[in-house]
Chain A
Amino acid sequence: MSPPGWGGNLLRGLFNSVLIAAGAYSIGIMVGIAGAFGKLYGGPVLRDLLELYTTIVRAVPELVLILLLYFAGTDLINRLLEAFGYQRIDINGLVAGICVLGIVQGAYSTEVIRGAILAIPQGQIEAARAYGMSPGLLLRRITLPAMLPFAIPGLANLWLIATKDTALLAIVGFNELTQETRTAASTTKAYFTFFLVAGALYLLLTLFSNVIIARVEKWARRGMHVESH
């Protein structure tokens, strides 16, 4: 039913989706780590600002945030460039999509990681301090690895959300899987088939992710007494 070539388009869309999801997820985790530490150990102003950030991002639809951040972000960068006497630039859609979804993911990661850090038995952190670890070393060797088993379920869920949220970029016209599907479908009029195929691709991505997640979870919980589930 489909002319040759559409399959390639769909796969390219899938690749773009995975790329955006992976990028946004990485940014989200970095923002999340910084945000969690800010919320736990930061000063009162920083804590309130972070609270504002996580509250707003979690209450306003991703779609609205994507449009706002996309327009405002590109505008701001170009104004800054002009102010410093540089040429305006066209912001790459891929980069913009990754950044915007990353900021959204960051708000959720902040909460997940904050909870995970609070779940670490305090004595383990105290032991590290008692043996003279510097704050950086403590973070790298103790806090981050020790919080992982508590954070993995939440972070895994965020990865699944990230893969699905990439579809929202279709609305701002970025050629990820959903948008490629719509183009293919409206050209060939085979809407039913193409959306079914795209759904299967997303589902496969999710199921594949679940297999990986189960392995990562098992690894992260190696020091825990009760095996997961």
Chain B
Amino acid sequence: MAEPATARLVDAGARASLWLQPHRIGLIAVGVVLVVCAALFMRWDWLPNYYGLALEGIWRTLWILVVTCVLGFMLAVPIGLVQVTGPRWLSVPAYWFCTVIRGTPLLLQLWFLYYGLGSLFPQYPWIRESFLWPYLRQAWPYAVLSLTLSYAAYEGEVMRGAFAGVARGQLEAARAFGMSRWKVFRRIWLPQAIYRALPTLTGETVLQLKATPLVATITVVDIYAVASRVRQSTFIVYEPLLLLAVVYLCITGILVFAFRKLEARIPARLG
């Protein structure tokens, strides 16, 4: 990066002026007017009362998002791998797992786990006596389980393609140099598959964010549930929903930005 600082500055300036065309200034002005009108003429007096709850809700939304994405991705790697190279007794169940989860609505899966399984558990005394019982009586483990499985299935499908897409010749070359099967997987196959899958991660994670409000239907209090509560107790309809949409837009924006930075740090060039 030996290019002179002035050149970069000029470049940035040119790009800014390219972006800030006259009609954009007009559109931004309209947007600002709309925001000011919303601030002045809509009702925001409920905001101080629910401020704390809203922050907690945002925190819980982010927490669920991060935990389920990380767990889901860890599951997705083996699910993708066994479908490419595994024995039939592993690849067939993995295939059907992906098909079933991707073929049914997440809301139904969530309700199936929470209401369906949840209603079966109390019938078995050994479950009631186990150390898990205090958790099984709460809602969030079901929410985390269901969102994790969903992410695992969608990303598992991506990982299957990513593993299959790595050129056979590279794996053969690694084996020809005397690498063990495990080493070939760890040093060559897995890194390349993950590089391949990276571009899809942004989209899948944004989709996962958009799925999180479903957990509100099984009594987990995320940011969506807070907005619903405001609507129900104050009968104010638009304001909490609009603010909610803005919150999701911001989180999406941060996610996209973070992933772009992450991708830029990975120098891999794939053919």
Q: Within the complex, are A and B direct neighbours (CB within 8 Å)?
A: yes
A interface with B by C-beta (< 8 Å): 44-45, 48-49, 56, 58-65, 67-68, 71-72, 160, 164-168, 170-171, 178, 181-182, 185-186, 189, 191-192, 194-196, 198-199, 202-203, 206-207
What does DSSP make chain A's interface, helix, strand, loop or mixed? helix
10 residue pairs bridging A and B, Cβ less than 8 Å apart: A45-B23, A48-B24, A60-B248, A61-B213, A68-B238, A71-B241, A181-B108, A189-B119, A191-B115, A192-B117
- Which of B99-107, B126-134, B137-145, B261-269 contacts the other chain? B99-107
- Please give 15 more A-B residue pairs, beta carbons under 8 A apart, in addition to A64-B227, A171-B107: A49-B27, A58-B206, A60-B210, A60-B249, A60-B252, A62-B210, A64-B224, A165-B105, A167-B106, A168-B107, A170-B107, A178-B111, A199-B108, A202-B105, A203-B103
Choice from B21, B117, B206, B248 contacting A44 with Cβ under 8 Å:
B21
3 tightest A-B CB contacts, nearest first: A206-B103, A167-B105, A59-B252
How far, in whole Å, are A199 and B102 apart by their CA atoms in the complex? 11
Choice from A56, A165, A166, A202 contacting B103 with Cβ under 8 Å:
A202
Check: B237 CB closer than 8 A to any chain A CB: yes
Contact between B108 and A195 (Cβ–Cβ < 8 Å)? yes
From 37 to 57 in chain B, residues with beta carbon under 8 angstroms from any chain A beta carbon are none
B82 shortest CB reach to chain A, Å: 20
Check: B148 CB closer than 8 A to any chain A CB: no
The size of the chain B interface, using a CB distance under 8 A, is 43
Check: B112 CB closer than 8 A to any chain A CB: yes
> For B192, what are the chain A residues with a Cβ–Cβ distance below 8 Å?
none
Write the chain A residue with the least CB distance to B115: A191
Interface string of B73-107 (1 = CB under 8 A from A): 00000000000000000000000000110111111
> For B115, what are the chain A residues with a Cβ–Cβ distance below 8 Å?
182, 185-186, 191, 195
Write the chain B residue with the least CB distance to A45: B23
Check: B217 CB closer than 8 A to any chain A CB: yes
From 1 to 49 in chain B, residues with beta carbon under 8 angstroms from any chain A beta carbon are 21, 23-24, 26-27
Choice from A71, A165, A166, A199 contacting B100 with Cβ under 8 Å:
A199
> For A65, what are the chain B residues with a Cβ–Cβ distance below 8 Å?
245
